Amino acid sequence: MFKRMFIVFEGIDGSGKTTQAKLLTKKLNAFYTCEPTEGQIGRLIREILKGKKKCEKETLALLFAADRVEHVKLIEEKLKESHVVCDRYLYSSIAYQTSQGVDEDFILQINRFAKKPDIVVLLTVDVEEGMKRLGKEKEIFEKEEFLKKVQNKYLKLAKKEGFIVIDTTNKSINESHEEILKIIKSKLWGLSNMSIGE
């Protein structure tokens, strides 16, 4: 019996993290989840991100933390049954909201309850390419200069926290998936002979 893992995908908008998180979920027969969640607080956050409602940047940070409190309970429950793959987590709050000007210590303090992931996969992308992938309908954070700032913050976090970093700029969806799968497989199974899907 091997440990059920909590795997997080991070990256700027257009990096391919949602696609890759869902592909890995299917391959591992894991539980897929995301932030913001589909709960009441998560739905409010989505309205703010779409520009339908407004609030102070610190209020948004608090909303993300509140949504995460409920989310962590779900993650811990699901880890009793299977691996959990999460599309965005605490590091999104740090990368995006410090880039907005929110103090990092404040973000860490209000998220001190957050469960530490076993694996974090950071997908990077050339920002111009990422913007092209997003299409016309964009959220409030989806501006080129801002996303460059966010990606730089992610890379600093990756160095500090030991994330797996994969550049998806010139790779097909399948190429990125195979690269992720190879690394995850080695992390999950180590020297075991068991293959993914068994």
What's the alpha-carbon Rg for the chain, to the nearest Å?
Answer: 16
Do 33 and 82 form a contact (C-beta atoms < 8 A)?
no
Please report, in tens digits, the pLDDT of each residue of the chain (198 residues total): 467 899 999 999 889 999 999 999 999 999 999 999 999 999 999 999 888 888 999 999 999 999 999 999 999 999 999 999 999 999 999 999 999 999 999 999 999 999 999 999 999 998 887 777 776 555 556 678 889 999 999 999 999 999 999 999 989 999 999 999 999 988 876 534 344 444
- List the beta bridge partners of residue 122: 10, 165
130 labeled binding residue: no
Q: Give me the pLDDT at residue 191, please.
A: 33
Sheet-wide strand order for 119-124 = 31-34, 84-87, 6-11, 119-124, 164-167
Alpha-carbon span 176 to 70, nearest angstrom: 31
Q: Are strands 164-167 and 6-11 parallel, antiparallel or unpaired?
A: unpaired
42 labeled binding residue: no
13 labeled binding residue: yes
98 labeled binding residue: no
Do 72 and 114 form a contact (C-beta atoms < 8 A)?
yes
pTM for the full predicted model: 0.90
Q: Give me the pLDDT at residue 3, please.
A: 78
* Domains, the chain: 6-189 (3.40.50.300)
